Structure formats: structure tokens, C-alpha cells
Amino acid sequence: MPFAATAQQSGSSFIDEALRSAVARKDVVGVVAMAADRKGIVYQGAFGVADVPEAKPMKVDSMFRIASMTKAVTSTALMQLVEQGKVAIEDPLAKYFPAEFAKPPLFESFDSATGAYKLRPATKAVTVRHVLTHTSGLGYGFTDPTTRDFKPRPGEEYPIVPLLFEPGERWLYSTSTDWVGRVVEKVSGKPLEDYFHDHIFVPLGMKDTSYFLPKEKEARLVTVNARGADGTIVKDAVQPATSASRRSAAAA
């Protein structure tokens, strides 16, 4: 056997053993791995189960929910529009959404005990770069308690939750990618799902990637699990829906 083939076989065996061991240690209930170079697939393997109660074996064509990895797809879509000269990285978001970002308010103070707050206008514009890099000043309810607990006073309305810091000042995982998706829709004139399908999934041959799962593919879907206090992994009692009306730029 040529040296190159021997080395590849040895590497594959090493990966197989590492993944089997992870399942045996119950680090995961199942795993699928693949590696490729410009010539094609050089490794693929599936170990463990796709459904704990049914002990359904994991397969190389098992399908997973990608959740917030949708953000990478959305950002790719936006960068395609940048390459085409239809969007500029330093464009202010107000160019596309003036009602929300022409004069965004910013928290000067927030009292977590009473909910009292003081706002001032942001001195910097939120740009496309900021929403691409989570440096916009926006937050998520689960990453920032001010975003979570903010309630406008009676008679006050805000098109967005006020910014937590000046754009570009720091990083915070946030709703930024939702706005990236809205820029894609605004500029392309297409819903996100249609844009992704036409400009990313079809060109790359990603025939199993979509927001919602067709009935005929449901048997291939890996279940969502949870780890109990004793360390055991069990199937989550509530499985995410495979169809819905909302198509999020940040999660699927």
C-alpha cells in the first residue's frame, strides 16, 4: 500500500476511535463527522444514536438543526451583496432602516430593581459592520439583563430596544444578525429563505439545508437532547417544531 494511502487509513482509524470513545464516555449520544479537501471527501463517519429512546443509529446522512449557525449563512448572504457592490460594510443601518436607526437611543442608566431608566441619543451610527460583528450596542434578553427587563414608560415607544453602548465600543452577542438578515431582504428584494436557496444552497449542492423540514426527511432528523443532573442524556420532552411561519436570520 502506498505511504499516502496508509497515512490516510491510519488517520481515519484514529478519528473513528476518538468519536467512538466520546460516545462510550457519554460525552455525546451520537456524532457525525466529515472532512473534505478540494478533491472531495477524505473522511466521514457516524457513531452512536440519533434518538435515545429508540436507539436509532446515527448515519452519515442524519440531519441536524443548526440553530445559531444560521448566523453564518446570513452573514455569507450579506457578504455576497457586498461583493456585488450593492451594500457597503460601512453603510449606516439608517440607510436601510431610518425609523429604527436614524437616531437610536442609548441607555445612560438603568435601575434593575425599579426599571427606571435614562436615555440619550447615541453619538455614533450603527453600521453594517457593527451588526455583522455583534458590536452594534444591541443585546439579547438572555445575554443582557437590561435588554431583558426594559419596559418603556407609559406613552413612550421605541422601534428598537435602546442600545447598551456606543456602536463599535465593545462586543455583545445580540440580535445584530437579525438586522443583517433584514438588510439582505431589503437589498435583494427576496425573503431570506428564497435568497439562501437561490444564491447559497443550490450553487453549493446543499440539498438538505432549509428552514423547514419536508415530511419525507423527518425520519432522518436527530432529536434534541438534554443532560440531567446525574449526567445522563435524555431526549428533550419538547422538540422544536419542524415547520413554522417565522424565518429567523439568527437561528433555525
For residue 187, is it within any domain? yes
How far is residue 28's CA from residue 227's CA, in Å, rounded to a whole number? 10
**Do 29 and 92 have their domain in common?**
no
At what angle are helices 70-83 and 176-188 packed, to 10 degrees? Answer: 40
For residue 245, is it within any domain? no
For residue 222, is it within any domain? yes
**Do 156 and 74 have their domain in common?**
yes
Closest CA to 131 of 202, 181, 197: 181
**Do 51 and 79 have their domain in common?**
no
**Do 77 and 183 have their domain in common?**
yes
- The confidence score (pLDDT) of residue 245 equals 58
For residue 191, is it within any domain? yes
**Do 117 and 136 have their domain in common?**
yes
**Domain termination residue (choose one: 196, 227, 244):** 196
**Do 13 and 129 have their domain in common?**
no
- Residue in the structure block whose three cell numbers are 442524519: 62
**Do 88 and 173 have their domain in common?**
yes
Q: Is the dihedral of CA 234, 235, 237, 241 positive or negative?
A: positive
For residue 90, is it within any domain? yes
Catalytic residue among 95, 96, 140, 173: 173
Indicate the pTM of the whole model: 0.86
158 part of the active site: no
For residue 96, is it within any domain? yes
**Could you report the per-residue pLDDT of 30-56, keeping only the tens digit for each?**
999 999 999 999 999 999 999 999 999
Cβ–Cβ < 8 Å for 87, 183 = yes
pLDDT one digit per residue (tens) for the chain, 252 residues: 333 444 455 568 999 999 999 999 999 999 999 999 999 999 999 999 999 999 999 999 999 999 999 999 999 999 999 999 999 999 999 999 999 999 999 999 999 999 999 999 999 999 999 999 999 999 999 999 999 999 999 999 999 999 999 999 999 999 999 999 999 999 999 999 999 999 999 999 999 999 889 999 999 999 999 998 888 999 998 888 887 656 677 665
**Do 182 and 77 have their domain in common?**
yes
**Do 152 and 83 have their domain in common?**
yes
Residue 111: CATH number of its domain: 3.40.710.10
User: How many domains does the structure of the chain reveal?
Assistant: 2
For residue 100, is it within any domain? yes
186 part of the active site: no
Q: What range does the domain containing 172 cover? A: 70-196
**Do 125 and 28 have their domain in common?**
no
Catalytic residue among 71, 136, 176, 188: 71
**Do 107 and 186 have their domain in common?**
yes
Joined together, the cell numbers standing for residue 112 give 434593575
Catalytic residue among 68, 86, 158, 217: 68
Closest CA to 127 of 139, 114, 137, 117: 137
Closest CA to 177 of 103, 90, 114, 252: 252
**Do 74 and 192 have their domain in common?**
yes
How far is residue 51's CA from residue 53's CA, in Å, rounded to a whole number? 6
Sheet with 40-51: list strands edge to edge.
Answer: 30-37, 40-51, 56-57
68 part of the active site: yes
**Domain termination residue (choose one: 170, 196, 222):** 196
Burial class (CB in 10 A: 0-12, 13-18, 19+), 224: middle
Query: What angle is formed at CA 97 by the lines to CA 89 and CA 148, rounded to 5 degrees?
Result: 95
For residue 246, is it within any domain? no
